[in-house]
Amino acid sequence: MFFLINGEGSSGIGELRVQLEARANRLDAIEAATRIVEAEVSCKSVGRGGMPNILGTMQFDASILDGQTLRCGAVGALEHTPHALTVARQVMERLPHVFLVGAGADRFAREIGVAAEPALTDDARAKWEQWVGDSRAELERPDAPLAPWLGTSIDISYKLPEARPKDTVVTLVRDHTGHCASGASTSGWDFKYPGRVGDSPIIGAGHYADSRYGTAACTHTGEMTIRTCAAHSVVMNMKAGMSPKQAVTDVGNELRRLTGGHIGTVVIYAVNAEGEHYVATTGDAASYYFWREGTPEIAHLSALPLELT
């Protein structure tokens, strides 16, 4: 057994270990740990503690994948429900579909008994109000242009340079049966365009698992990992016989070849079926936690700078 969870998931690591040591199913373990992170208001990129979109509305993305069957479920732009991964799992369990978005995802959440609840914290509201300043009335016009408000490196005007893609929580697990699973949950890009969906709910971009080969995930600039199907590519590299380090380095160099669009940091996490792991970043520093059965402590480690080849 093992788990790898990125730094945003620090509040969930204890529960994740408890679940696995109690021989819980891999999907149950991921969901239980993620729910703790989604409820943690100090985590500013996931669930209740996250930041809203340009209009001050919280929208959540999440997905989960079983590496034994490759069954999966995902939700995007889900409102009123910080526990997005729970809804994503129920999409997998109850529907013939894989992905629900927007109003349909919200409706399904109510249908399965997930109550609507306030999702915007006082802290997030205050930061949004400070950000919009005197322009709130202008933003609330139905025909207001929103694109100029995006703080990215694309050729549009800056409103808040620090409003850029940030982290999410990604969890990679192998349980007592020897099978893997992966999951991700996020509130997305701070002050994003309404309806923006990143890589977290997109299977193969934000995370992927195949029990035969291993599991992988990505955080930060989801627009880039969507373009390269990055997590799936890492796992397929391990299928081809690459070590986690080789697999991550290969995909990282593909990311560095991208031009145009929004270019930023990507952190890539990989664990093969034997539990060998490697994590690298193309830019910003990042950390993660790793534990495997028989190890007394949960290791807190730093992502390594991506090597060029």
CATH of residue 54's domain is 3.60.20.30
Residue 147 lies in a domain: no
Q: What percent of the chain has pLDDT over 70?
A: 95
Which residue is associated with the tokens 């985590």? 43
- pLDDT for 76-123, tens place per residue? 999 999 999 999 999 999 999 999 999 999 999 999 999 998 899 999
- Active-site option among 34, 81, 121, 168: 168
- Catalytic: 168? yes
Q: Is residue 155 part of a domain?
A: no
214 and 272 Cβ atoms separated by less than 8 Å: yes
| Sequence-separated (6 or more) residues with CB below 8 Å from residue 135 | none
Query: What average pLDDT does the segment 153-171 reach?
Result: 62
Tell whether the model's pLDDT for residue 162 goes beyond 80.
Answer: no
Average pLDDT over every residue of 128-157: 80
Question: Tokens in use for 131?
Answer: 């950000």
pLDDT confidence tier of residue 164, bands split at 50, 70 and 90: low
Exposure b/e, 116-150, CB count within 10 A at least 16 = b: eeebbbeebeebbeebbeeeeeeeeeeeeeeeebb
Domain count, the chain: 1
Residue 257 per-residue DSSP state:
T
User: pLDDT of 21-38, one tens digit each?
Assistant: 999 999 999 999 999 999
Asked if pLDDT for residue 150 goes beyond 90, the answer is no
Its pTM stands at: 0.94
- H or E segment to which residue 70 belongs: none
Pick from 28-37, 109-118, 135-144, 163-172 the range whose average pLDDT is largest. Answer: 28-37
What are 227-257's pLDDT values in tens digits?
999 999 999 999 999 999 999 999 999 999 9
Share of the chain above pLDDT 90, in %: 86
**In the structure, what pLDDT confidence band is assigned to residue 158 with cuts at 50, 70 and 90?**
very low
Strand partners, 144: none
The whole-number pLDDT of residue 118 equals 86
CA distance 65 to 38: 18
Residue of 229, 309, 257 whose CA lies nearest to 218: 229
SS3 content of the chain, % helix, strand, coil (to 5): 35, 25, 45
Three-state SS at 100: strand
Report the chain's mean pLDDT, rounded to a whole number: 93
Range of the domain at 79: 2-142+160-305
10 Å CB burial of residue 285 (0-12, 13-18, 19+) is exposed
